[in-house]
Amino acid sequence: MAEIKFKCTNCDFAFTDKNLIFYLNSNLDDLESILNSNSEDLELIEESLNKENSDKMTKAVISGFLYENYCPHCNELIKTYVPETNELFNPEEIERILNKEISKKTSEYKILFFDFKKTLYRDRRKILENNQCPNCENEMSLVISEKTPCPQCGASLKEEF
């Protein structure tokens, strides 16, 4: 998928939405080892969505979608990981595994659970646009789009091609 560039109509804020996904790469064979593994056996991959990466995502033990936005209150880039429903692990186990892996890369993140496949697009947008920053707990959108205001000044954003 193509990247979408957004620019504020009022200030110098610019952001590129890379249509990110994430998946957990593991060289471990059994699920118990993944749950109790030390970090060298697991690798969190974050990439733009395309056919090849979609196939990797499908084969991974844990995978999902990754959204980014800036919090206007604490001025940090916040990553939101939305894991897909998983028959191998329950949500608490997924959260424990992801927390261990994500925290190696950043401390500004949120893990958000909802059934992506059973949630209508309209409802997904509401969930993502009306949320809270995990750092300062102020209200913020977890995604950037033309429908959300600029996180720095509140003016409108426009797509650049």
What was the pLDDT predicted at 38?
63
What was the pLDDT predicted at 62?
92
Q: For residue 69, give the nearest of 120, 20, 11 by alpha carbon.
A: 20
What separation in angstroms does the CA of 64 have from each of 60, 61, 113, 142, 152? 10, 10, 10, 15, 28
Which stretches does DSSP call E strand in 29-136?
42-48, 63-71, 76-83, 109-111, 131-132
Taking the model in full, what pTM does it have? 0.84
Q: Are strands 157-160 and 4-8 parallel, antiparallel or unpaired?
A: antiparallel
DSSP element (H, E) containing 24: strand 20-26
**Which amino acid type is present at position 20?**
L
Backbone angles phi, psi at 3, to 5 degrees: -80, 150
What was the pLDDT predicted at 23?
94
pLDDT digits (tens, 9 = 90+) for 38-79: 656 788 999 999 989 889 988 898 999 999 888 889 888 899
Alpha-carbon torsion angle 33, 35, 37, 43, nearest 10: 110
Interatomic CA distance for residues 53 and 137, integer angstroms: 33
Higher pLDDT among residues 26 and 84, named by residue: 84
**pLDDT greater than 70 at residue 30:** no
